Amino acid sequence: MSNALTRPPFIFLTLGTALGCGLIAGVFFAFSSFVMPALARIAPPQGIAAMQAINVVVLNRWFLGVFLGSALGCAVLGASALLNWSEPGAGLSLAGALLYLIGTLLVTRAFNIPRNDALAAVAAESAEGLRLWLRYVPEWTFYNHVRGLAALAAAGCFILALLRAR
């Protein structure tokens, strides 16, 4: 009996999901390594306004397609891993799925999006905006580190799962 995880549809799904997770990790790495530090260096009203604009523009089909498409791939691969638990690579595939779904998707929903919503509700020039911004940058960036590392680890797990399942 052949390993279900080595059938072409799952190979392509695993590879595509690994690439999607890696691409998302790269986006989050860019934000953590230079976008947020740059926004923190400029005057708070300009930093607030820039981040408010970013938070509107990021809701596009390209980013959301990769972000949510990777989550969908993770859900399918995680379920397949559970159904084929005894097969090589299943544990790594499940680990990758959980890392992305919890560490990237859930962290985004629970921590980054509420901060983005709060930032969207303030005037960039206001005292309230300044108070929020001083908390927003380190808190948002911390959770961005978490989700970036989770997405990168998920990509690594899926690559290792492919190698193990061969």
- Mean pLDDT in runs of 10 for the chain (166 residues)? 73 97 98 98 98 98 98 98 95 98 98 98 98 98 98 98 89
Q: What is the pLDDT of residue 114?
A: 98
Q: What is the pLDDT of residue 41?
A: 98
In sequence order, what are the residues at sequence separation of 6 or more whose Cβ sits closer than 8 angstroms to the Cβ of residue 105? 67, 71
Q: What is the pLDDT of residue 155?
A: 98
Q: What is the pLDDT of residue 2?
A: 57
- pTM for this entry: 0.94
- What tokens appear for 138 in the block? 């380190």
* Tokens 């860019």 sit on residue: 30
Tell me which residue range forms the domain holding 85.
4-165
Q: What is the pLDDT of residue 1?
A: 43
Distance, CA of 141 to chain centre: 13
CA distance 148 to 100: 9
The domain tally of the chain equals 1
Q: What is the pLDDT of residue 8?
A: 86
Q: What is the pLDDT of residue 6?
A: 73
